[in-house]
Each structure stands twice: as C-alpha cells, then as structure tokens.
C-alpha cells in the first residue's frame, strides 16, 4: 500500500494530467484506431483507384515508372509494389514546397496487368491519409505538431503507469478490481468502468505509448535500448566517387532483378530511386505472405551504376536494438502480430475515450476522494 500522502499526490497528478491532456489523448487514440485499417478504408472510399483489370502482374517496373512520369513529371520519390490490400503500383511524386512545410506528395496508381494509369491524387490530403496526418502531427506539422504528439505519448505513458499504481489491489480483491458491477450506484459503476478499462487496456496502452514516443523521439529511445543492445545510425548511403558524368545508370528492371537475387525468399515491397542527397537505390522487403500492414522488414541500398549492394540492413544483419527500432511502427499499430494484433490496437484506441469520460464524470461529482477503492 502507498503511504497516504504519496497516494494523494499521485492521484492528484493522475487526475489533472488526464483532465488537461485527455482531449488530445482521446483524439490520438481514436485516429489511431482509424489508421490501423486506413489502407483498407482508403480502398473502400476510392475503389476506382485500386480496380486492376486483372490479377496478373505483366508490366515491368520500368514501364510503371514511364506511365507514372507521363502522368506526372515531378520526381519519383517512392514506388509501392502491389499487395493484397493495394493491388496496384503506387508511385509517389515529390512536388516542390517551401522549406518547413508538410511534404507535397502526389500519387499515380498504375494497373499492374496492363500499365494503365488508374488515377492521380493529392496523397497528403486524401481523406484516409489526412486522418493519418491528424494522428501523426495533429495537422500542425509546421508548428511542432509531430513533437506535440510525441509529448502526448509520454503523457499517455504517465497516465498508464500512475493508473496501474493507483489501481493495484490486494490479491484477494483482484477480480473485483477488474470487473464491472451493475447492482451498485451510478458513481460506483463509473468507477468500476474506469478501473476495469484501464486494466484490460493496460498492456496495449503501454506498448502504444512507448513505441509512439520512440517513433517521434528516437534520440530518447536509443540510449535506453543501448543498455541491452547497441543500435547503429540509420544510414542513407551515397556513392562518394560516382562514375564520370554521362555514365548510364542501370535500368530499374535490372535493379529489381539484382535486389531479388540478393534477397531470395522475400518480396520487394517498396523502392526508392536515387535522389540528390542519396544517389543509391533503396529496396525494401517484406516476407512472402506477411500481412501487408507490415509495409517492410529490412532494406538494401544498391549502386545505381554497378548494382553492387552498398549497405545491407535486413533482419539477419541488424542488432537486436536496430531490429526493435525498425519494428517500432509495426508494434505501434499491431501489425507485427498480424490481424489479431491490429484488432487489439484498434480496440485499445477507444480506451482513452472510456477512461477520459469516466474520469471526467467522477471529477464532476467531486467524490473520488470519498470513495473507498477496496
């Protein structure tokens, strides 16, 4: 049992942290539930963009890039290979934008069976992607929105840990402390809902808050992870002495063949052509048959002139710390554990709403201090 004064301070902190930060935590939770399935939702909302003429993948990557370039001449930043959820090639173009503004990305959808352009759109402002931005930046990208979301992750972590300490029951009262009784007063019912919801969502909220804060503030997480396994800097390798001007680069199809030969048994998921700051190809992979929500697991960087592997950052070459940092997003959205994990995170996204409303009702009654919690 906590000393009375310590418990009072912890309860006061828990209550006011929840009341003052609760609205934003609820917003992040609800949008988080949405984006667990944002790709599936996007398909439902925009079926024509994903309606391939057939399941066959007859066209090559070079043909995809030519079709996309004809539709949008802006530089190609990323190419998403077809998968079960998005069964078309998705080419993301980087349009110019003022420094500090949210990246201006447009997508071109290309039918893998015939090379037909199925449509173009403003990627960042499509509905499902805008909800994703709301979750990730509160639509305040230019005003430290991403960092604010990271702080909210720490708030959620503080609420979860303080709630766990305040909840901790005697061994003989455990089941009573995680269940909801109906033959009690309204206030006691709300109190039971608050305790039970916090307990059953505890593990998911801990994982979500820790990984969410870690995604936004990797510099905070790296020293902690480093206590167990040494992480390395995520590279963006360059060819420091490229061939003389005019030397032709390898065709995109050749890069695909080299990458697939270098990593047999896994599927190419994402490709990033060379850019001004990174003059190498980056090819990201996903295990065959893996849930498409796991967008990639590992990558290699290739010399665009020779096809040599410049850097290998696939699971077999990474330290445990590097693997954790690379998997944070898939832990955060539950995809690391398949559909079951995603459904769990989806449900956990509603827990902050239940906890905030029940906590607010208790505060409005001004009775928490007089309630016996045993």
CB 105 within 8 A of CB 77: yes
pLDDT greater than 60 at residue 284: yes
Between 96-100, 178-182, 313-317, the lowest mean confidence (pLDDT) is in: 96-100
Average pLDDT across the chain, whole number: 87
> Exposed, middle or buried, 142 (CB in 10 Å: 0-12/13-18/19+)?
exposed
DSSP H or E segment with residue 59? none
Q: What is the pLDDT of residue 252?
A: 95
Per DSSP, 252 falls in state H
Q: How far apart are CA 142 and CA 244, in angstroms?
A: 40
Percent helix, strand, coil in the chain, to 5, is 55, 15, 35
CB 193 within 8 A of CB 361: no
- Which residue has better confidence, 233 or 146? 146
Per DSSP, 103 falls in state P
DSSP string, 265-299: TEEEEEEE---SS--SEEEEEEETT--TTS--S-E
Write the pLDDT tens digit of every residue in 325-340.
Answer: 888 888 999 988 889 9
- Which residue has better confidence, 300 or 19? 300
- Let me know how many helices (H) and strands (E) the chain has, helices first: 13, 8
Give the pLDDT mean for 346-360: 92
Q: How far apart are CA 235 and CA 278, in angstroms?
A: 10
Select from 11, 17, 10, 8 the least CA-distant residue to 352: 17
Confidence of residue 373 (pLDDT cuts 50, 70, 90): very low
Q: How far apart are CA 247 and CA 234, in angstroms?
A: 29
Q: Report residue 224 as tokens.
A: 């902690």
Q: Report residue 163 as tokens.
A: 């709630």
Phi, psi of 168 (to 5 degrees): -45, 115
Phi, psi of 269 (to 5 degrees): -110, -45
Give the pLDDT mean for 12-16: 83
Write the pLDDT tens digit of every residue in 201-213.
Answer: 999 999 999 999 8
- Identify any residues that bridge with 89 across adjacent strands, giving them in sequence order: 110
pLDDT greater than 70 at residue 222: yes
Give the pLDDT mean for 156-165: 88
What residues does each domain of the chain span?
Answer: 4-39+141-228+336-365, 47-125, 252-318
Select from 231, 294, 328, 309 the least CA-distant residue to 263: 309
pLDDT greater than 50 at residue 291: yes
pLDDT greater than 50 at residue 236: yes
For residue 13, the number of C-alpha atoms closer than 13 Å in the C-beta half-sphere is 16
Give the pLDDT mean for 17-22: 84
pLDDT greater than 50 at residue 371: no
Percent of the chain surpassing pLDDT 90: 42
Q: What is the CATH number of domain 47-125?
A: 3.10.450
Integer Rg of the chain from CA: 24
């Amino acid at each position: 049992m906590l000393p009375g004064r310590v418990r009072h301070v912890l309860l006061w902190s828990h209550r006011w942290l929840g009341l003052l930060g609760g609205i934003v935590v609820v917003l992040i939770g609800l949008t988080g539930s949405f984006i667990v399935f944002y790709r599936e939702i996007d398909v439902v909302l925009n079926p024509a963009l994903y309606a391939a003429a057939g399941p066959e993948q007859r066209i090559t990557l070079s043909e995809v890039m030519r079709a996309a370039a004809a539709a949008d001449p802006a530089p190609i930043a990323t190419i998403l290979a077809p998968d079960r959820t998005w069964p078309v090639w998705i080419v993301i173009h980087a349009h110019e934008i003022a420094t500090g503004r949210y990246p201006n990305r447009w997508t071109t959808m290309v039918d893998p069976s015939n090379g037909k352009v199925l449509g173009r759109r403003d990627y960042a402002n499509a509905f499902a992607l805008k909800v994703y931005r709301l979750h990730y930046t509160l639509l305040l990208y230019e005003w430290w929105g991403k960092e604010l979301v990271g702080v909210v992750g720490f708030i959620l972590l503080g609420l979860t840990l303080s709630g766990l300490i305040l909840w901790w029951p005697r061994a003989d009262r455990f089941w009573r402390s995680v269940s909801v009784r109906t033959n009690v007063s309204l206030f006691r019912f709300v109190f039971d809902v608050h305790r039970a919801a916090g307990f059953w969502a505890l593990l998911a909220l801990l994982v979500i808050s820790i990984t969410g804060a870690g995604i936004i503030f990797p510099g905070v997480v790296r020293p902690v992870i480093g206590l167990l396994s040494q992480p390395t800097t995520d590279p963006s390798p360059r060819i420091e002495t490229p061939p003389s001007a005019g030397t032709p680069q390898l065709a995109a199809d050749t890069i695909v063949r080299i990458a697939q030969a270098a990593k047999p048994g896994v599927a190419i998921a994402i490709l990033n052509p060379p850019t001004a700051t990174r003059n190498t190809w980056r090819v990201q992979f996903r295990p065959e048959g893996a849930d498409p929500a796991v967008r990639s697991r590992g990558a290699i960087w290739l010399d665009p002139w020779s096809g040599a592997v410049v850097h290998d950052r696939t699971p077999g070459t990474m330290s445990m710390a590097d693997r954790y940092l690379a998997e944070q997003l898939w832990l955060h959205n539950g995809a690391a554990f398949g559909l079951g994990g995603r459904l769990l995170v989806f449900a956990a996204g509603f827990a902050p709403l239940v906890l905030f409303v029940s906590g607010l009702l208790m505060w409005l009654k001004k009775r928490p201090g007089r309630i016996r919690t045993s």
